[in-house]
Amino acid sequence: MRLIVRLMVLTPLLAAIPCAALAEPLTFDAALRHATNKAPSLKAGMAGVDATRSAAVAAGRLPDPTLSVGIDNFPVSGPPAFSFTRESMTMARIGIEQPFPNPAKRRAQRSRAQAGIGVAEADLAVEAQNLRLETALAWVDLYYAKRRLAQLQVLDQSLGELQATVSARLASGAARPSAALEPDQLRAAVADRRSELTADVAKAQARLARFTGDPLADVSGDPPILEVDRARLIAGLASLPTLQALDAGVGAADAETELARADKRPDWRVSTSYGRRDPAYGDMVSVGISIDLPFFSKRRQDPRIAARASEAERARLMRTGGEQQIVAALDGDLADHVMHHQRLMNARNTLVPLAKRRAELDMASYAAGKLDLGSALLSTLALAEAEVDALSREDDVARDAIRINFTYGEMRP
């Protein structure tokens, strides 16, 4: 019985353990899939698209008919006052009226509804693009932050070996007593640097967790190798979600303009009613048609048409300006990408090899008694910083390639 009670108590506690605690590290593509499937912003955007599509079903439909009920010709003075039977014209009336907007207005309403769907879908595509970009950058940042931290661990190991060498030299009297403190001083400096890199890892992990929905998000595998081709990117600019959103805005503005023009065409209504009188008199049926007369369009419809046309022109100019801005931003990002790649090559081919050679020479000089330990340790620290800096430059190149392809290309998870 006690075992059963314990199981009853522990079962809800075990069920409360988040599934993310058992999650495995994510590859680059898996992180993008998780973000796309779990992002609340995308689900909200999809709900907005569904709402717009549902509302479009009613666009361009005939308005609901109007039912009217009343009493006509009821006397309030004279001999038949307040009598329902002494006045032959008094009758109870019931009628119905059906408005018929002009066909151009109904077509414009349908066009506006379809344009609204296009705007909602374009906004969703922009949100999806931004989500994929931020997820990809967070994954790459975490990948390189962990590599930089691991690179610093190598220096920690070498300091441990150096501490043993210093202790042996102190025991033999070949080193001054203060030399025993120098590895600890360098280790403290490395600890400060490690704290910075650990914070970088935590921040990148928090960003990745935000987009993937995994509180213990981690990376697995290598980042993608993305080619940056300006000609291909320029050729595909028209399909970018940002420009498609501007195109949808142009379509919506045009639909509003057509709807304003349709107001100059008359609407009409058909009505019919049945009048019930005293049995001594005959009942009556009425049928009528009413038509709107837009006689004063210069002060009513025309100003609205001009306003909507101006809004449509504004939307077109924004579309043109948006494309020019994207091309300029692309060229700027490409320039940064070239610069970052050159800096990476300089680090790999020059800075890191020189720092490594200097550290080796200084340690050899220290071993031969020609250089003090502090200078040799500083060279070792400079080598570690050069290698960490090279990883940072590699991170910049990878981020550039991802940003360019995910912003100006059609990258899909």
Please give the chain's pLDDT, 413 residues, in tens.
333 333 333 333 333 334 434 457 889 999 999 888 888 889 999 999 999 999 999 998 999 999 999 988 888 888 888 787 777 788 889 999 999 999 999 999 999 999 999 999 999 999 999 999 999 999 999 999 999 888 887 776 666 655 555 555 545 454 455 555 566 666 777 788 889 989 999 999 999 999 888 888 899 888 888 888 889 999 888 888 889 899 999 999 999 999 899 988 899 999 999 998 878 788 889 999 999 888 888 888 889 999 999 999 999 999 999 999 999 999 999 999 999 999 999 999 999 999 989 888 887 887 777 776 667 777 877 888 888 899 999 999 999 999 999 999 865 43
Q: What are the helix (H) ranges across 300-351? A: 301-346
Partnered with residue 200 across adjacent β-strands are none
Integer Cα distance of 331 and 324 in angstroms: 11
Predicted confidence at residue 372, as pLDDT, reads: 65
Indicate the SS3 state at residue 278: coil
User: Closest Cα to residue 206, out of 298, 119, 281, 139?
Assistant: 139
Domains of the chain are: 20-408 (1.20.1600.10)
Integer Cα distance of 284 and 95 in angstroms: 11
The edge-to-edge listing of strands for the beta sheet with 268-277 is 66-72, 91-100, 268-277, 284-291
Strands 268-277 and 66-72: unpaired
Indicate the SS3 state at residue 17: coil
C-alpha dihedral sign at 27, 30, 36, 41: negative
Strands 284-291 and 66-72: unpaired
Q: Which residues contact 351 (CB under 8 A, 6 or more apart)?
A: 386, 389, 390
What distance lies between CA 226 and its chain's CA centroid?
22
Predicted confidence at residue 282, as pLDDT, reads: 84
Q: Are the C-beta atoms of residues 114 and 58 closer than 8 Å to each other?
A: no
